[in-house]
Amino acid sequence: MATIIYTHTDEAPMLATYSLLPIVQAFTGQAGIAVETRDISLAGRIQAAMSPWLPEDQRVADDLAELGQLATTPEANIIKLPNVSASMPQLKAAIAELQSQGVPVPDYPDNPETDDERRIRAAYEAVKGSAVNPVLREGNSDRRAPAAVKNYARKHPHSMGAWSSDSKTAVATMDADDFRHNEQSVVLPSDDTLTIALVADDGTRTVLKSGLAVLEGEVVDATIMRAAALDAFFTEQIQRAKDLDVLFSVHLKATMMKVSDPVIFGHAVRAFFPQTFLRFGADLAAAGLSPNNGLGGILDGLAALPNGDAIRASFDAELAAGPRLAMVNSDRGITNLHVPSDVIVDASMPAMIRTSGHMWGADGKEHDTLAVIPDSSYAGVYRTVIDDCRAHGAYDPTTMGDVPNVGLMAQQAEEYGSHDKTFEIPASGVVQVTNAAGEVLMSHEVAAGDIWRACQTKDAPIRDWVKLAVSRAGIQGDPTVFWLDETRAHDLHLIEKVKQYLPEHDTDGLDIRILGPEAATKLSVERIRQGLNTIGVTGNVLRDYNTDLFPILELGTSAKMLSVVPLMSGGGLFETGAGGSAPKHVQQLVEQNYLRWDSLGEFLALAESLRHLARVDDNPSATVMADALDKATEKLLNENKGPARKVGQIDNRGSHFYLALYWAEELAGQTADPDLASTFALVAEALAASEKQITSELLAVQGSPAVLGGYYRPSDDLARSVMRPSATFNAIIDALA
């Protein structure tokens, strides 16, 4: 039986799986297709990583490692839902929850002293941050809004806040001494092994990374953010926000960039409370209360300190004296600086742009904002969009064009693969990258506290990326722009490779250009306002940023994008959109038994997965299933049966019922597969006849708290009970299965 792997992940997408997956398995089983699950959730990854330290009966298989191997084979067919890219607070919270559930995973060793503690910490480090995507993404990304989704957005536009020409909202970024300006880059002439070492001022040599294997044609970069310049920058922007009387906010990627950005976040917290850290910094450090983990963690830990009240009073005084802080939750007093994973740049900046350039203040109202993005590599993209909105007003979802994306990400390309090559420098000196012959390829003078990082981009993924871009350009016929900056060391090498590989393809009649990110943004938004589409071809980080930025402006969410990853070995990875709003959805479910998560991304990914299976396994029934699913999804949109926002309306579970009804009706009405038509005619009849009863049962549970038995790892029985509350619907689906 042909097999699709459906990933078990985290938060709202994981909860939705308890409702949707039984439907998917019941339907696809009629076409001879098995849909199996693999657990890549944060809790599952922790338990797998800690299995050597667990009793034998609580050890689990490493599903992520298994899928990583599968992704390198032609047989791969993986549907990947959004997962938690854990910050340190999230990692520790998940550890504590597992321990409370009777899984004796060891504590995270903040200051490992023994070899065993160092091994435990190394295993946990592999779980942190973007631990999943680099493993599974053995291909480049093709993300776009399906026509049905775009048409729905035009007919049912989401809200867009009006912009004022005198808006004081702005983007602040560094103009020197950041990653962008200090970048060096080399292309390896042959296979080699590199070493990264710190040669301190006293002559001692400390190897930071050895045995770094590289291939012929691989692009390797090294760069540094200087701590002193970063501190001066934050101090300047804090004063600027106060002078302008706007909200101060910091926008980083402290989940994906799990080494660099939490450290940068810590610098922001220290800069906002300079006197507190001057007076009490040693006390906080001795108590293990790090600004890298956010203000919230520090405040929570003050009760255990003998001078905790004095420290809290100092924080309160500086908070009152400084600029107004943007809030994550004004009702609960959670600021922009409370938790590093609360304000993620690729989700937070588009949301701000959508809301008139505003974020929320402590008064519960919207205000102009100084958005601080320290590294200047891509900050100009957001600045360009903000300038465009200030000059021309908000975008119109009923008419605006589209910016599909072809993204370079295969084989851990670019920054997201750099975690094991990023270091907070312990002493002043020089960091050198040397080859096997001992030749210095790149070097940077460093000071204690500087953040140094390297990253790799292999040649084969670049070549595949160019091929995918030309293919998408040919399919759509729209201008296709490589977002590459000729003044940046890394991008200059990519430009050379793009020019080398484009002639391998038929580009006659295609409009293919190379522009820097700001110029590419300007072109794209100008065309958006004309209702025209522009294909963006970007590196890994810009892929992540742009596939949130433009869909959030166009569609209201990035969860409605179709994301196909043609794996380089011939398999397929099908991603289901972003999960940035998932935590709020879980909170609403727990409080009101109402899940607002929209599974549209899952519907779209499943259809593409079925088509891939049909091609690879020569299963025409899979094509029938996919075509019927797409039609059902379009009907779901047109009938407005997606999740609403408030209790008493249809939620995620109700949308799954209507998908099942419409999918069964489409299958019953098709003529290509009479057996499927016959089977699903009965299913469609049963669902239609029970519609009133099923919707009544689904609505009846709303309004009261829901018990899940855990946030990172809920009880399966409790989650199933919450997410499958209609006995009538369950009976029809389970009978089909």
651, part of any domain: yes
Segment 87-113 shows an average pLDDT of 94
The residue ranges of DSSP E strands in 73-139, in sequence order, are: 77-80
Summarize pLDDT for 115-132 with one digit per residue, the tens: 999 999 999 989 987 788
Report residue 460's pLDDT band, with 50, 70 and 90 as the boundaries: very high
Summarize pLDDT for 606-646 with one digit per residue, the tens: 999 999 999 999 999 999 999 999 999 999 999 999 999 88
Query: What pLDDT is recorded for position 559?
Result: 78
Residue 163 DSSP SS3: coil
Summarize pLDDT for 371-421 with one digit per residue, the tens: 999 999 999 999 999 999 999 999 999 999 999 999 999 998 887 666 789
364, part of any domain: no
pLDDT at position 40 over 90: yes
Query: What pLDDT is recorded for position 417?
Result: 60
pLDDT at position 579 over 80: no
Sheet hosting strand 192-200, strand order edge to edge: 205-214, 192-200, 429-434, 440-446
CA-closest candidate to residue 698, choices 639, 647, 660, 628: 647
**620 close to 33: Cβ distance less than 8 angstroms:** no
Summarize pLDDT for 527-547 with one digit per residue, the tens: 999 999 999 999 999 999 999
Query: What pLDDT is recorded for position 325?
Result: 97
Query: What pLDDT is recorded for position 89?
Result: 87
Query: What pLDDT is recorded for position 561?
Result: 84
419, part of any domain: no
Can you give the residue range of the structural domain that contains 60? 2-138+567-736
Among residues of the chain, what percentage have pLDDT more than 90? 89
350, part of any domain: no
| Length of the chain counted residue by residue | 737
170, part of any domain: no
Domains: count for the chain: 1
Query: What pLDDT is recorded for position 187?
Result: 98
Segment 44-56 shows an average pLDDT of 97
625, part of any domain: yes
Segment 353-380 shows an average pLDDT of 97
pLDDT at position 580 over 60: no
Query: Cα(639)–Cα(219) distance, rounded to whole angstroms?
Result: 49
Segment 272-289 shows an average pLDDT of 96
Segment 97-110 shows an average pLDDT of 96
616, part of any domain: yes
Residue 255 DSSP SS3: coil
- What is the pTM (predicted TM-score) of this model? 0.88
Q: Nearest 5 degrees, angle CA 56-CA 58-CA 59?
A: 70
**343 close to 264: Cβ distance less than 8 angstroms:** no
Among residues of the chain, what percentage have pLDDT more than 70? 99
Mean pLDDT score of the chain, rounded to an integer? 95
474, part of any domain: no
Segment 305-330 shows an average pLDDT of 96
Beta bridge partners of 213: 193
Summarize pLDDT for 51-99 with one digit per residue, the tens: 999 999 999 999 999 999 999 999 999 999 999 888 888 999 999 999 9
Query: Cα(514)–Cα(408) distance, rounded to whole angstroms?
Result: 15
Report residue 323's pLDDT band, with 50, 70 and 90 as the boundaries: very high
Query: What pLDDT is recorded for position 1?
Result: 67
Query: Cα(548)–Cα(346) distance, rounded to whole angstroms?
Result: 6
